[in-house]
Chains A and B, each alone.
Chain A
Amino acid sequence: MRKLAILFSVILAGALLLTVSPLMAQDSSITVAIGGDPTTLDPQAADDGNERAVNDNIYETLLTRDASMALVPLLAESYEQLDDTTWQFTLKSGISFTNGEPMNAEAVAFSINRNIDPEFNSEQLSFFETITGASVVDELTVSLTTNGPDPILPARMYWLKIVPPVAAQAEGFAENPVGTGPYKFVSWARGQQIELEANAEYWGGAPSISRVVIRPIPEESTRLAALQAGEVDFVRDLIPEQIDQAPVVKHIPGLEFPIVRINNKDGILADVRIRQAINYAVDKEAIAEALYAGYAVVAQGQVLNSSHFGFNPDVQAYPYDPDMARQLLAEAGYNGEPIQFVGEAGRWLKDRELIEVVAAMLTDAGFTVDVQILEWSNYLDLLFAQENQPAMIFVAHDNTLFDADRTFSGYYSCEGRVSSYCNEEVTQLINDGRTETDGAVREGMYHSVVELSREDGAFLFLVNLENIYGLSERLEWEPRQDGKILFAQMTLK
């Protein structure tokens, strides 16, 4: 009887497969719209969201994050910290790149050393500042050294993509990505489309969607129109106003924080009362509710949200209190001296509008604001300037390492690459925190950093944006908090 049942089910399954498979082959192809053409497809060269949208599906990292954003091994089998500055990663065996190169200790050490090589001059260097090198221990073991204790090294390994040594040294690697991931690169017609196909030999099992076409569509309304017309199945970065027009919308609290950096080193903004007045003068609620149509939440006096290690739940946003702002301005003896406010347009969601809103609110509270919307490259010069920094500059930060150290060492520290805020006490805490291996102590230090910098008006804290995606009716997918778009997690209905 059991034999008969098995036979019967085999025949049934075969029949089903026969009838269904041609349909599936035809239909399991999707088109995805992203915001622009990647600058390169070398996974280690650029810090470019469009490049990541493609390469996150081709390449893999030693560690990854699951749906709840907890770090879990991917290419690594396990890892341990040997001493303060040495880490050892054991790799999964039997994985190879789609060009046949083995994914082994040699490939991992090569990838790490390539990405931190000063001559390679990667835009991602700030993610890996603490790493000094990697070496092969045996076929599947890699050891990694840092320039001091680095508690967030595992988080960095969620960012560093592993490349095949032979292909990476060959000519044209930046146009022909080869990884270990669930998708294989097929073709790239610059400015038009990138085509990927499922990696049938993927070690984690072949993905359900067999072919993905990625099209760069820079304009939001054009992306939406393409989605409505059924030309694409997936678009990222919808603007909140368009949401009711998309067939299916998915949104999730994101990592992006638009902020205004305040230069406390010289000029009138050296006075803490004026910096606090700036924070009191801006109605963050209105920005989140009206400008971002509710798809943003007010930042709680820090450039972190609850998913980040170091987030201080006891610290709250400055309330909107223009009278308080005026009072503080009067106490500080502010007499309408113009305050430079630098921004840009077109890079981040509603950036120009946000700048105009902030400027108008500050003006209402009695500030004289000199707004300068600059062209992107001029803006970048000022953003990275270490001398003659602008009084206020708009920027959006997203901490994808999920550890406050990335935000703090970049923006809160006197020595930060993109910092115009300097407070010795805060900087000391940040430096101590980076080398503190006891998690609880480190978290305590970060809570103090948040508390001190909030009182000190280190930034104009604004809002935390949500990621908004538009999907076609037939596509199923759940967004991730880290903003990664993994086609292997998509299915068709």
Chain B
Amino acid sequence: MEESLAPSVIIEPHTVDTSEAVTELRHPFLRSLKELALDLLHDWVAMIGLIGLVVLLVMAVTAPHISPYDPAKQSLRDRFVPPSWMEGGSPEHFLGTDSLGRDLFSRLIFGARVSLTIGFITLAVTATFGTFIGVISGYYGGTLDEILMRWVDIQTAFPGLLVAITIIAMIGPSVENLILVLAINGWLIFARIARGMTLSLREQVFVRAARVAGCRDRRIIIVHILPNLISPLLTISVMELARFILAEAALSYLGLGIQPPDSSWGLILAQGRDYLVNAWWVVTFPGVVIAMTVLFINMVAGWLRSVSDPHQRFKLRNS
């Protein structure tokens, strides 16, 4: 989410009431950071989300040090050991084992690396590229808009899976290619939303005022239009992130993504599906971590949305 922080920081002086800026003479960047932190302290929902996210990220980064077992270590004689607190469970396997006797807890810790990396990188790529195309298209309109939007239309017409299979067949399955394939399919929605919003913003009084005041296109886009897109785009980002994590699982399951012995949350879940009846834990725990991740991101995004929206923040401050 660092990417989305940047623009909101830049626009601070232009969107906040100026009285505060005059009284506080420190560097605007530091000042806004402090404001953000204060907001965060008051917003316990966002705080929980942020702590949760940090824990997950730390888990992913330090996986080799904190995981109790090698995630690929199999033991066919210890298949489907239930979680340790259940009857038949063993203290050696906290969350039990999967269908090949691999330690589920270790696999989830290592799976976080793959899932979060793919999720966040894909999101960064699609959000940046999609928003760029959308804003350009909406702001300049005319032939450029026609061309770009027909491009989006044409790509929308192709089933995502078919495109993915074709591309992977040509370049081979790997993590990088998986991100590429997901990104090719994922930027369209950002472009559409950004274009729609830009079209209406373009005609707003403050944009026209800026134009009359002599602002260049680049400045109008970056300073006056982009900040107003953050709120809706954040909402989509959260939904898309969850979708990327699950789409990665689907593609990997078909053999278009990550390859054994690596695994991801989604793939663990997909592989455990057949055993739902007799080994619920193999499906449930990856499902829970995916749901938690999305929930945490949602909590943080809710707060980011409110601080990036001047109206909402004004209400927050004065309540």
Point out the residues of chain A lying under 8 angstroms from B275, CB to CB. 221, 239, 241
Question: Is residue A463 within 8 Å, beta carbon to beta carbon, of the partner chain?
Answer: no
Interface hit among A31-39, A252-260, A375-383: A375-383
Measured between alpha carbons, how far is A357 from B73 in the docked complex, in Å? 10
Question: Is residue A490 within 8 Å, beta carbon to beta carbon, of the partner chain?
Answer: no
Given contacts A359-B260, A375-B168, contact A239 B274 (CB under 8 A): yes
Question: Are A345 and B79 in touch, CB under 8 angstroms?
Answer: no
Interface string of A331-372 (1 = CB under 8 A from B): 000000000000111100000110111011001000000011
Which of these, A241, A245, A286, A377, contacts B76 with CB under 8 Å? A286
Question: Is residue B34 within 8 Å, beta carbon to beta carbon, of the partner chain?
Answer: no
Question: Is residue B278 within 8 Å, beta carbon to beta carbon, of the partner chain?
Answer: yes
Chain A interface size, under 10 / 10 to 19 / 20 to 34 / 35 or more: 35 or more
Question: Are B277 and A221 in touch, CB under 8 angstroms?
Answer: yes
Measured between alpha carbons, how far is A356 from B255 in the docked complex, in Å? 13
Question: Is residue B221 within 8 Å, beta carbon to beta carbon, of the partner chain?
Answer: no
Within B246-279, the residues touching A (CB, 8 Å) are 253-256, 259-261, 271, 273-279
Shortest beta-carbon distance, B313 to chain A, in Å?
48
Shortest beta-carbon distance, B65 to chain A, in Å?
22
Question: Are A352 and B271 in touch, CB under 8 angstroms?
Answer: yes
Question: Are B260 and A371 in touch, CB under 8 angstroms?
Answer: yes
Question: Is residue B234 within 8 Å, beta carbon to beta carbon, of the partner chain?
Answer: no
Question: Are B77 and A286 in touch, CB under 8 angstroms?
Answer: yes
Measured between alpha carbons, how far is A16 from B261 in the docked complex, in Å? 65
Question: Are A377 and B165 in touch, CB under 8 angstroms?
Answer: yes
Given contacts A221-B277, A290-B76, A373-B260, contact A345 B253 (CB under 8 A): yes
Question: Is residue A242 within 8 Å, beta carbon to beta carbon, of the partner chain?
Answer: yes
Shortest beta-carbon distance, B99 to chain A, in Å?
6
Measured between alpha carbons, how far is A357 from B253 in the docked complex, in Å? 16
Question: Are A346 and B253 in touch, CB under 8 angstroms?
Answer: yes
Question: Are A360 and B261 in touch, CB under 8 angstroms?
Answer: yes
Question: Is residue A287 within 8 Å, beta carbon to beta carbon, of the partner chain?
Answer: yes
Question: Is residue A17 within 8 Å, beta carbon to beta carbon, of the partner chain?
Answer: no
Closest to A291 in B: B76
Within A305-345, the residues touching B (CB, 8 Å) are 343-345
Point out the residues of chain B lying under 8 angstroms from A378, CB to CB. 165, 168-169, 255
Point out the residues of chain A lying under 8 angstroms from B255, CB to CB. 343-345, 372-376, 378-379
Interface pairs (28), CB distance under 8 Å? A219-B273, A239-B274, A242-B278, A245-B277, A283-B76, A286-B77, A287-B76, A290-B77, A291-B76, A291-B79, A291-B99, A346-B253, A346-B254, A353-B99, A353-B100, A356-B100, A359-B260, A360-B73, A371-B260, A372-B173, A372-B255, A372-B259, A374-B255, A375-B255, A376-B254, A376-B255, A378-B165, A378-B169
Point out the residues of chain B lying under 8 angstroms from A357, CB to CB. 74, 76, 100
Closest to A241 in B: B278
Contacts A290-B79, A353-B100 known; 19 new A-B pairs at CB < 8 A:
A221-B275, A221-B277, A224-B277, A241-B80, A242-B278, A286-B77, A287-B76, A290-B101, A344-B255, A345-B254, A353-B271, A359-B260, A360-B73, A371-B260, A372-B259, A373-B173, A375-B256, A376-B254, A379-B255
Measured between alpha carbons, how far is A356 from B71 in the docked complex, in Å? 13
Question: Are A371 and B261 in touch, CB under 8 angstroms?
Answer: yes
Question: Is residue B292 within 8 Å, beta carbon to beta carbon, of the partner chain?
Answer: no
Chain B interface size, under 10 / 10 to 19 / 20 to 34 / 35 or more: 20 to 34
Question: Is residue A220 within 8 Å, beta carbon to beta carbon, of the partner chain?
Answer: yes
Question: Are B261 and A359 in touch, CB under 8 angstroms?
Answer: yes
Closest to A344 in B: B255
Binding site for A on B (CB under 8 A): 72-74, 76-77, 79-80, 99-101, 165, 168-169, 173, 253-256, 259-261, 271, 273-279
Closest to A359 in B: B260
Point out the residues of chain A lying under 8 angstroms from B101, CB to CB. 290
Question: Are B260 and A355 in touch, CB under 8 angstroms?
Answer: yes
Measured between alpha carbons, how far is A378 from B279 in the docked complex, in Å? 32
Measured between alpha carbons, how far is A372 from B173 in the docked complex, in Å? 8
Point out the residues of chain A lying under 8 angstroms from B80, CB to CB. 241
Shortest beta-carbon distance, A356 to chain B, in Å?
5
Question: Are A221 and B274 in touch, CB under 8 angstroms?
Answer: yes
Point out the residues of chain A lying under 8 angstroms from B100, CB to CB. 291, 353, 356-357, 360
Point out the residues of chain A lying under 8 angstroms from B74, CB to CB. 356-357, 360
- The 5 A-B residue pairs whose C-beta atoms are closest, nearest first, are A290-B76, A373-B255, A374-B255, A375-B255, A286-B76
Measured between alpha carbons, how far is A379 from B169 in the docked complex, in Å? 10
Point out the residues of chain B lying under 8 angstroms from A356, CB to CB. 74, 100, 260-261
Q: Is the interface of A mostly helix, strand, loop or mixed?
A: helix
Within A282-301, the residues touching B (CB, 8 Å) are 283, 286-287, 290-291
Point out the residues of chain A lying under 8 angstroms from B254, CB to CB. 345-346, 375-376
Point out the residues of chain B lying under 8 angstroms from A241, CB to CB. 80, 275, 277-279
Measured between alpha carbons, how far is A406 from B73 in the docked complex, in Å? 38
Measured between alpha carbons, how far is A376 from B253 in the docked complex, in Å? 11
Measured between alpha carbons, how far is A76 from B274 in the docked complex, in Å? 44
Measured between alpha carbons, how far is A291 from B10 in the docked complex, in Å? 58
Point out the residues of chain A lying under 8 angstroms from B256, CB to CB. 375
Question: Are B260 and A221 in touch, CB under 8 angstroms?
Answer: no
Which of these, A221, A286, A290, A355, contacts B276 with CB under 8 Å? A221
Measured between alpha carbons, how far is A219 from B275 in the docked complex, in Å? 11
Point out the residues of chain A lying under 8 angstroms from B273, CB to CB. 219, 221
Within A107-154, the residues touching B (CB, 8 Å) are none
Point out the residues of chain B lying under 8 angstroms from A344, CB to CB. 255
Which of these, A221, A283, A355, A377, contacts B169 with CB under 8 Å? A377
Shortest beta-carbon distance, B292 to chain A, in Å?
25
Closest to B271 in A: A352
Question: Are B261 and A242 in touch, CB under 8 angstroms?
Answer: no
Measured between alpha carbons, how far is A245 from B275 in the docked complex, in Å? 12
Closest to A352 in B: B271
Measured between alpha carbons, how far is A98 from B256 in the docked complex, in Å? 46
Point out the residues of chain B lying under 8 angstroms from A291, CB to CB. 76, 79, 99-100
Within A181-223, the residues touching B (CB, 8 Å) are 219-221
Measured between alpha carbons, how far is A256 from B253 in the docked complex, in Å? 23
Point out the residues of chain B lying under 8 angstroms from A373, CB to CB. 173, 255, 259-260
Which of B77, B79, B100, B256 gathers the greatest number of chain A CB atoms within 10 Å? Answer: B100
Point out the residues of chain A lying under 8 angstroms from B173, CB to CB. 372-374
Measured between alpha carbons, how far is A375 from B253 in the docked complex, in Å? 9
Point out the residues of chain B lying under 8 angstroms from A220, CB to CB. 274
Closest to B78 in A: A290
Measured between alpha carbons, how far is A263 from B169 in the docked complex, in Å? 22
Shortest beta-carbon distance, B177 to chain A, in Å?
12
Shortest beta-carbon distance, A243 to chain B, in Å?
10
Question: Are A360 and B72 in touch, CB under 8 angstroms?
Answer: yes
Measured between alpha carbons, how far is A373 from B270 in the docked complex, in Å? 15
Shortest beta-carbon distance, A288 to chain B, in Å?
10
Point out the residues of chain A lying under 8 angstroms from B261, CB to CB. 356, 359-360, 363, 371
Measured between alpha carbons, how far is A241 from B278 in the docked complex, in Å? 7
Measured between alpha carbons, how far is A357 from B260 in the docked complex, in Å? 10
Measured between alpha carbons, how far is A372 from B274 in the docked complex, in Å? 22
Point out the residues of chain A lying under 8 angstroms from B72, CB to CB. 360
Closest to A345 in B: B255
